[in-house]
């Protein structure tokens, strides 16, 4: 880090003991922003960073609900309103047994910078509960959501805090949460995003993250002088869920060839590429049938591997010949060994579709070896950007067509790329998108905080 940020980090660790995820997220940002602080003594004097690492508000509450057997269950609910300097707090709700303050603080902190990078007026927040939706009936999920909203409604509103989905919170949960809010408050406010188009949701939201991460990869390639971008490139994608599916669709539309897809059991390698018809099969398999990716290999007679079983091809990243990688499954899925394999293949660009899929050492290696590396904060910001567009449509009482939404999204992703490039250059790290994204997001929030005085 450096002499300005070192003591701040020490204080964060002391104040937030037992929260390693939060420490990691803060460290990654503080590591990058020292050059910006050297050029902006006014931020140091106003102790902007000390304020930035402290959430504005943490709300914790009891969520009692009754299960199908008539037994009362008690979960813990959270909402972290981390920073609202540039707009209403915005960030998802996560329902997962692992949820606790440290995870939500890390996610909310990240969200502050990601949202700032979109250029839309959105602050950062995150929330959720340790409730586990797996194995629960529809009725139980509905009663939990209603109980959760019976407290959360006091703390959110269209101009205050607009939650969205995250792990364990999809269309069904957003519907129950929205219904509960509307019933309690007796108003129709765009208080949640990720709604279905029938009641105020934005068209283009399902495509947004995958398309955005692909456009970001295309921009990185062009910026490094690859004139054709993704056209003719061999691309590895991991996951086969929402982000992976739409990344595959966009890569194919731009003339690239996607040769891998995965799920939590294993991965396929299709050297002919996942074309439109095969992608339709994947979408049906994953979104309707809820099947395993192995069925793709059985159907199209291609190779299928279980992780770490083959002596050389231990994961998608070890497949030879990869020119572009879009890790789009989960956190920490690209370790140092996998990063070395990608470098050896001659990989030109890595665009993070998922949140934090590359471990810190892998990121360092990509940067050292000149692989263009788009961090999730920038590369997967298309999802929250489109949520921001949903807020705008709700305020306008109007719906844009899918073409209009995706056109706006494409421009936003181009702007994020431009911000990363110009900021990294200005602060002495040309080509380093991590520095560009962290300083770019930081400057916007810091200026807004400075303008608003000590609050
Ligand atoms: P989905 O649940 O739709 O898909 C996740 C995919 O990753 C599934 O194919 C899943 O396999 C696979 N997967 C999960 N865990 C592992 C694992 N340990 N090893 C290998 N594969 C695994 O999620 P999304 O596509 O929506 O999200 C993917 C990532 O992108 C997450 O990190 C998410 O936070 C991030 N993200 C998503 C956004 C969005 O708009 N959807 C926005 C920004 C970030 P299986 O089917 O076996 O579970």
Best substitution site from 264, 266, 268, 385 to test ligand 1's pocket, by max atoms within 8 Å of Cβ?
264
Complete DSSP assignment for 134-170: TT--HHHHHHHHHHHHHHHGGG-BTTTEEEEE-TT--
Residue 152: pLDDT band (50, 70, 90) is very high
Q: Are 38 and 144 in the same domain?
A: yes
* Binding site membership of 115 for ligand 1 (Cβ less than 6 Å): no
- At 21-36, the pLDDT tens digits run 999 899 999 999 999 9
47 CA from centroid of ligand 1 (Å): 37
Using the predicted structure, report yes or no on whether residue 370 has a pLDDT greater than 80: yes
* Binding site membership of 354 for ligand 1 (Cβ less than 6 Å): yes
What pLDDT, on the 0 to 100 scale, is given for residue 2?
84
> Whose CA is closest to atom 22 on ligand 1?
264
Q: Is the pTM of this model over 0.85?
A: yes
Residue 442: pLDDT band (50, 70, 90) is very high
What pLDDT, on the 0 to 100 scale, is given for residue 247?
98
What pLDDT, on the 0 to 100 scale, is given for residue 167?
86
> Whose CA is closest to atom 26 on ligand 1?
242
Residue 427's contacts (CB-CB under 8 Å, 6 or more residues apart) are: 35, 36, 39, 435, 439
Residue 288: pLDDT band (50, 70, 90) is confident
Q: Are 35 and 154 in the same domain?
A: yes
Average pLDDT over the chain, rounded to an integer: 97
Q: Are 63 and 146 in the same domain?
A: yes
Query: What domain count does the chain have?
Result: 2
* Two structure tokens written together for 146: 């209603």
Structural domain of 136: 6-189
- At 38-47, the pLDDT tens digits run 999 999 999 9
Best substitution site from 25, 99, 243, 307 to test ligand 1's pocket, by max atoms within 8 Å of Cβ?
243
49 CA from centroid of ligand 1 (Å): 32
Residue 455: inside a domain: no
What pLDDT, on the 0 to 100 scale, is given for residue 355?
87
Phi, psi of 337 (to 5 degrees): -60, -40
Residue 314: inside a domain: yes
Which residues are identified as catalytic? Answer: 126
What pLDDT, on the 0 to 100 scale, is given for residue 53?
98
Using the predicted structure, report yes or no on whether residue 164 has a pLDDT greater than 80: yes
145 neighbors 175 (Cβ within 8 angstroms): no
Q: How far apart are CA 91 and CA 23, in angstroms?
A: 19
Using the predicted structure, report yes or no on whether residue 251 has a pLDDT greater than 90: yes
Q: Are 341 and 229 in the same domain?
A: yes
DSSP conformation class of 290: -
Q: Are 184 and 211 in the same domain?
A: no
Using the predicted structure, report yes or no on whether residue 451 has a pLDDT greater than 90: yes
Q: Are 167 and 218 in the same domain?
A: no
What's the average model confidence in pLDDT over 205-212?
96
Domain boundary residue, one of 374, 389, 422: 374
* Binding site membership of 243 for ligand 1 (Cβ less than 6 Å): yes
Coil, strand or helix at 56: coil
What pLDDT, on the 0 to 100 scale, is given for residue 356?
86
Residue 331: pLDDT band (50, 70, 90) is confident
Q: In terms of pLDDT, which residue wins out, 21 or 258?
A: 258
Domain boundary residue, one of 347, 374, 401: 374
Q: Are 277 and 364 in the same domain?
A: yes
Q: Are 266 and 335 in the same domain?
A: yes
* Binding site membership of 240 for ligand 1 (Cβ less than 6 Å): yes
Using the predicted structure, report yes or no on whether residue 84 has a pLDDT greater than 80: yes
Helix, strand, coil in percent for the chain, rounding step 5: 50, 15, 35
Residue 1: pLDDT band (50, 70, 90) is confident
Q: In terms of pLDDT, which residue wins out, 360 or 253?
A: 253
Q: Are 210 and 184 in the same domain?
A: no
Residue 426: inside a domain: no
Q: Are 28 and 126 in the same domain?
A: yes
Residue 193: pLDDT band (50, 70, 90) is very high
* CATH at residue 180: 3.40.50.10860
Residue 151: pLDDT band (50, 70, 90) is very high
Residue 395: inside a domain: no
* Binding site membership of 334 for ligand 1 (Cβ less than 6 Å): no
Q: Are 27 and 92 in the same domain?
A: yes
Residue 106: inside a domain: yes
Q: Furthest-apart CA pair in the chain: how many Å?
A: 64
Residue 417: inside a domain: no
End-to-end, the C-alpha distance of the chain in Å comes to: 27
* CATH at residue 362: 3.40.50.720
Residue 201: inside a domain: no
359 CA from centroid of ligand 1 (Å): 16
448 CA from centroid of ligand 1 (Å): 33
Q: Are 218 and 251 in the same domain?
A: yes
- With 0-12 / 13-18 / 19 or more C-beta atoms within 10 angstroms meaning exposed / middle / buried, residue 138 is exposed
Domain boundary residue, one of 345, 374, 403: 374
Residue 319's contacts (CB-CB under 8 Å, 6 or more residues apart) are: 236, 259, 260, 269, 313, 345
Neighbours of 425 (CB within 10 A): 14
What pLDDT, on the 0 to 100 scale, is given for residue 134?
87
440 neighbors 419 (Cβ within 8 angstroms): yes
Residue 88: inside a domain: yes
Instruction: Determine the atom of ligand 1 nearest the C-alpha atom of 286.
Output: 46
């Amino acid at each position: 880090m450096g002499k300005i940020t070192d003591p701040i980090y020490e204080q964060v660790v002391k104040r937030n003991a037992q929260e390693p995820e939060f420490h990691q997220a803060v460290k990654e940002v503080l590591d990058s922003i020292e050059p910006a602080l050297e050029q902006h003594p006014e931020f140091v004097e106003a102790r902007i960073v000390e304020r930035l690492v402290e959430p504005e508000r943490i709300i914790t509450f009891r969520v009692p609900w009754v299960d199908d057997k008539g037994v009362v269950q008690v979960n813990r609910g959270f909402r972290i309103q981390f920073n609202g300097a540039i707009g209403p707090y915005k960030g998802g709700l996560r329902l997962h047994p692992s949820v606790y303050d440290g995870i939500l603080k890390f996610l909310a902190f990240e969200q502050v910078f990601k949202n700032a990078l979109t250029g839309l007026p959105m602050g950062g927040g995150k929330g959720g509960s340790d409730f586990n939706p797996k194995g629960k009936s529809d009725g139980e999920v509905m009663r939990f959501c209603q109980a959760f909203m019976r407290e959360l409604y006091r703390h959110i509103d269209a101009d205050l805090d607009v939650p969205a989905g995250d792990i364990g919170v999809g269309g069904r949960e957003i519907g129950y949460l929205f219904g509960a809010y509307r019933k309690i408050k007796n108003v129709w406010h765009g208080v949640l995003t990720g709604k279905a188009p029938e009641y105020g949701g934005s068209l283009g939201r399902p495509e947004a993250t995958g398309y955005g991460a692909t456009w970001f990869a295309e921009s990185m390639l062009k910026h490094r002088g690859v004139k054709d971008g993704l056209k003719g490139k061999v691309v590895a994608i991991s996951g086969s869920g929402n982000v992976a599916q739409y990344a595959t669709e966009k890569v194919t539309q731009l003339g690239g060839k996607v040769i891998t897809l995965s799920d939590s059991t294993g991965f396929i390698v299709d050297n002919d590429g996942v074309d439109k018809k095969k992608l339709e099969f994947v979408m049906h398999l994953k979104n309707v049938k809820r099947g395993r990716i192995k069925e793709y290999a059985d159907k199209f007679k291609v190779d299928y591997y279980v992780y770490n079983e083959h002596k050389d091809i231990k994961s998608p990243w070890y497949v030879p010949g990869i020119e572009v990688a879009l890790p789009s499954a989960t956190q920490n899925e690209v370790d140092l060994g996998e990063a070395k394999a990608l470098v050896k293949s001659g990989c030109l660009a890595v665009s993070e579709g998922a949140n934090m899929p590359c471990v810190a050492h892998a990121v360092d290696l990509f940067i050292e070896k000149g692989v263009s590396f788009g961090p999730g904060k920038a590369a997967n910001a298309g999802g929250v950007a489109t949520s921001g567009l949903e807020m705008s449509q709700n305020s306008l009482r109007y719906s844009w067509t899918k073409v209009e939404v995706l056109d706006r999204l494409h421009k936003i992703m181009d702007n994020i790329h431009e911000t990363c490039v110009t900021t990294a250059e200005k602060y002495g790290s040309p080509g380093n998108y991590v520095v560009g994204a962290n300083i770019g997001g930081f400057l916007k929030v810091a200026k807004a905080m400075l303008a608003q005085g000590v609050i």
